[in-house]
Every structure is written in C-alpha cells, then in structure tokens.
Amino acid sequence: METGIASRTARAAAAHRAVHQILDGGRVFLDPLAVGILGENVDDLLLESRQDPHAARLRLFIACRSRFAEDALSRALATGVRQVVILGAGLDTLAYRPSVASAARIFEADHPDTQLWKRARVAAAGIVPPAVLRYVPIDFEGPTWWDRFEADGLDRQLPTFFTWLGVVPYLDAAAIATALDWIGHFPGGAELVLDYSDPPDSLEPEARRVHEARAARVAALGEVWRSHFDEEAMAQLLRSQGFAGCLDLGPSEIGACYLGRPAHEGSRRGGHIVHAWTAARAGAANLVPPVAPAVRAEPDPGA
C-alpha cells in the first residue's frame, strides 16, 4: 500500500459489490448500502464493469465471499458470539447492519489511510455509525498492531468472529502468520473467514492469464499480490497458528453452494473462501450446516 493513499483495491471491491446490486439484483449478496457508500455515478460503474470481460467472474467471487462471511457470522451470533472484528474492512458495510450492530460490539480495522477515506464515505452517504462500532487504524506489517485493539476496548476473553476478506494476498508470509497466530490463540475463542488464491503456476492456462493480468493491474495501483497458497498449505498454516478446524471452499464448491452450478463442475483451483475456528468455537461452528443450503438464482455471468 502506498502511504497517504486509500486502498484502490478496496474501492474496486466495493464497486463490484455495488454493481452486483444493480446488475444481479444482489442475488448472492444483498447489500442495501453498497451503492450509497461508494457514492459514484452508477452509469460510470456499469461502463467500467462492461469494459472488463472478466469482471463478472470477480464480481461473483466477491459477492460469494461476503455472503459466506455473512452466513457464518449469522450462525456465530446465533450461538453466542457478541464481538465482531472486520480486518482490512475497506468499504464493507456489515457493521452498519442493524441485525449485526444490535447483537454485537464491532471493531473495524484497516490501514489508516483507507480508514480515513471510509469514514468520510460513511459520513457523505449519511450512514450513522452504530454506537457499538470502534474504528481501529492498523498496519498488519507494523509492530504490535494488535495492542491497538485492546486500547480500543476489544475483550480477549469473549468469543469473537473475525472477517479478513481480500487482504491475505496483499501481505507477506510473516504478516499473515502473525495475524493468524493472534486470532488462533484468542483466549475467548475465535472464528475467522478469509479468502486466498491458489499459486498462479497451479492454475489452468486461461485462468492463469486472467490472474496475471489482474495481478499486473493491482500492482500498477501500488498493491502487489504477494502471497498464494494451495489448500493443504492453508490448512497446515491455520493448524500451526492455533486453529482447530476449517472449511475451505474452492471454485467448484463456491459455484455449487452459491451460484446454482452443478457440484464438481469447474476447476478446484482459483479463489478459495475459508471458515476457520479455534477449539473453543469448534462445537458451535459445527452445530449447523456450514453452508446455507438454499441457493439463490444465478446471476447472468455474462452481464
């Protein structure tokens, strides 16, 4: 990330969520604040999306990861979690949902420059931050960033639900391991939803070309993709950092769970979404089906 500049990839992810509401009717991930918080001209957003032949695929992945996190959070709230931490929040709007804000204390953490921009966008959109929300400016690559949370009132004795969406690829291995270690040894127990991507050299040729073109685009924005994992490496990393179990959905499972595609169709390699839990949350995380069985109608991927 470039100092003094809000994350442009956070803006891009928010644009995909906004376009998902307009073009797909929010059928995978319904977010009533997605368009307003971005505050951009809708025609320009649609034009930008139509100019990228691969936009629909990324838009659906971003919608699926948010939906997966929201489903897991709903189950966590139903089984006693009362503290939520949104890491690398960008323009994520979960904290402003009455259903979440009425049930839990919420901490939004992000790079200071991105967080300043987010707070300005929240104000400009007329969104009133709930009283239970704390903004925590951090740099995952700086020293002892976790201390900021306790200074801002995070209670480490409470079971806590974390999201970390769209952030892992931008960090180096040491920063990822440090954050996972902190979450994986949370004294009150933790659940975490994150996403990651398989190594580019393990992708099929067309997927690899798309991946590399996108990597070059985000690098040109000053945000380089630095970390990739395969499924076994991610599971092993989570175990080594204190997690007791995880559910990892690869591209074909995501398609089957959320996009109405036949099970086992498509590649097993690409973007993954993970729900991980520590031992203290294992019982609750396993109490209910891990993925919502009801599939909403499939948006037109060619839109």
Ligand X SMILES: C[S@@+](CC[C@H](N)C(=O)[O-])C[C@H]1O[C@@H](n2cnc3c(N)ncnc32)[C@H](O)[C@@H]1O
Q: Is residue 139 part of the contact set for ligand X (CB under 6 A)?
A: yes
Is residue 230 a contact residue for ligand X (CB under 6 A)?
Answer: no
Phi first, then psi, for residue 202 (nearest 5°) are -100, 0
CB of 229 to ligand X, least distance (A): 17
CA angle, 261 then 267 then 269, to 5°: 130
Residues in 169-198 at the binding interface with ligand X, rule: CB under 6 A:
170
Smallest separation, CB 7 to ligand X (Å): 4
Is 137 in a helix, a strand, or coil?
strand
Q: Does the footprint of ligand X cover residue 92 (CB under 6 A)?
A: yes
Q: Which residue is nearest to ligand X (CB)?
A: 90
Please report whether residue 49 would count as binding ligand X according to CB under 6 A. Answer: no
CB of 90 to ligand X, least distance (A): 3
Q: For ligand X, which residue of 55, 101, 106, 165 counts as binding (CB under 6 A)?
A: 165
89 is an interface residue for ligand X by CB under 6 A: yes
**Binding of ligand X at residue 272 (CB under 6 A)?**
no
8 Å CB contact between 28 and 259:
yes
E-only strand ranges, the chain: 83-87, 105-110, 133-137, 160-164, 190-197, 245-249, 271-277
From the CA atom positions of the chain, what is the Rg in Å? 18
Binding site for ligand X (CB under 6 A): 1, 7, 9-10, 13-14, 88-92, 110-111, 114, 138-141, 165-167, 170
